[in-house]
Amino acid sequence: MGGTALRPPSRPRQGEPFPAAPPRLKAPPRFKAPPRFKAPPRFKAPPRFKAPPRFKAMRLAPTPYVVKTGGGEQGPPEEGHRRQDPPRTSRGPAMPPWLPPLLAAPVIGSFAGVLIRRLPAGRPVALARSQCEACGHVLSPAELVPLLSILVLRGRCRACGAAIPRFHVLVELAALLVAVSAVLAPLLLAAALPDGPGAAPSAAANLLSGGALQGGALEGGAQAGAAGLWADCALGWTLLALAWIDARRFLLPDVLTLPLLLAGLAACQVLQPWALQDHLLGAVLGYAVLRAVALAYRALRGRDGMGAGDAKLLAACGAWLGWAALPQVLLLAALLGLGAAGVMRLRGRAVGRTTMLPFGPFLAAACWAVRLSGSWAGP
């Protein structure tokens, strides 16, 4: 058999050491994973732009009133009676408080004309569109602009050319007159107050410059603040509608008199909460007095001489003015009624015991006059 035979390793001789064992095979190093991927840092939005602080105007402390007497000037009154300056804003001059009622007056007058013509006839007020009474042409919004549309159309319908009744112009002008009288009443009262020559110009400058007149600043005057001015105008516009309806139809609708009564109590709660009890008593006494007169006249004459609407209207006057002003309202209304009867006789009309004369217009005029005169307000 060819080839070399395997020989076993030779054994060391006696006395010789065994050969050293070969070195152990070292294991290869373990595999190290590469480092994890680190995401880049998130993008940081730049800081928001900060607007510079607004300029703050220096405000002076409110100046107390100084009471002038014969012996000189007294010091400031109690803390509750100090004058409060109107708030100042940095948005420019504010709209004067008398301007919005004057702008809204023709619009309110147009709506009052709708009430005057439709309420007594039972026609819808808010749902029906306004139209020409001659041809039935439905009026467009441009044709409903108070006063201006009549001037542009020259007083005639655009569709048929029929003349527009003067009633619409008169009621819109009357509503504007109500607002003007409510605005000018505080100025006239300030001119009539015996506080010296400087009282009227200061009040007039305050109103014309747009400053909010403080209610009660003119003792015995009408409410001159923005809320008081709107309340006075609302009373005058409602009285205007009631007086016109009663003069045409001898009717004072409950849909106007009863809300007017509630509005008077609400206005008192907002403007003069301390006088709410007097105004409640005025509403009760106003209704009771004229209702008693109507029942007594029926018992004596056997026929009606005064409707229940007059009693409800006087109750509304008491709610707006208080019970102390009711004698003034009744006296002035009676004088106006006598004056109207005298004018009728001078014009050749027969006036007797059975002549019907609406009392609502005289009550409304008397209530408005007392309200503007300020004699209803206490000290």
DSSP 73: E
Domain membership of residue 227 (yes or no) is yes
pLDDT (tens digit, 9 = 90+) per residue, 74-100?
445 554 455 555 555 545 567 788 889
Q: Give the amino acid at 99.
A: L
> Lowest-confidence range among 120-124, 133-137, 186-190, 208-212?
208-212
Q: What is the pLDDT of residue 309?
A: 92
Please give the Cα distance from 237 to 176 (Å, whole number).
Answer: 9
Please give the Cα distance from 283 to 147 (Å, whole number).
Answer: 37
Q: What is the DSSP string of 239-284?
A: HHHHHHHHHHHS---HHHHHHHHHHHHHHHHHH-GGGHHHHHHHHH
* Four-point Cα dihedral 229, 231, 235, 240, nearest 10: 50
Q: What is the pLDDT of residue 25?
A: 74
Please give the model's pTM, rounded to 2 decimal places: 0.69
Domain membership of residue 58 (yes or no) is no
Domain membership of residue 66 (yes or no) is no
Q: What is the pLDDT of residue 42?
A: 78
Which residues contact residue 180 at a Cβ distance below 8 angstroms, ignoring those fewer than 6 apart?
Answer: 102, 105
Q: Same domain, yes or no, for 213 and 260? A: no
**173-182 burial, b if ≥16 CB within 10 A, otherwise e?**
ebbbebbebb
Q: Same domain, yes or no, for 281 and 222? A: no
Please compute the mean of the pLDDT values over residues 253-268 and round it to a whole number.
95
What's the number of domains the chain is made of? 2
Of the pLDDT bands very low, low, confident and very high (cuts 50, 70, 90), residue 8 is: low
| Domain end marker among 205, 237, 269 | 237
Q: Same domain, yes or no, for 288 and 195? A: no
Q: Is the pLDDT of residue 108 over 50?
A: yes
Please give the Cα distance from 353 to 131 (Å, whole number).
Answer: 41
In which domain, by residue range, is 272 found? 252-379
Higher-pLDDT residue of 165 and 285 is 285
Q: What is the pLDDT of residue 141?
A: 83
Q: Is the pLDDT of residue 351 over 70?
A: yes
- Percent of residues, the chain, with pLDDT higher than 90: 37
**Inter-axis angle of helices 99-118 and 226-249, nearest 10:** 20
Q: Same domain, yes or no, for 262 and 375? A: yes
Q: Is the pLDDT of residue 116 over 60?
A: yes
pLDDT (tens digit, 9 = 90+) per residue, 282-299?
999 999 999 999 999 899
pLDDT (tens digit, 9 = 90+) per residue, 200-249?
444 444 554 444 333 333 333 333 478 888 999 999 999 999 999 999 99
Closest by CA position to 251, among listed 160, 324, 359: 359
Of the pLDDT bands very low, low, confident and very high (cuts 50, 70, 90), residue 33 is: confident
**Pair 307, 358: CB distance under 8 Å:** no
Domain membership of residue 41 (yes or no) is no
Q: What is the pLDDT of residue 217?
A: 37
Domain membership of residue 14 (yes or no) is no
| Domain end marker among 171, 203, 237 | 237
Q: Same domain, yes or no, for 139 and 211? A: yes
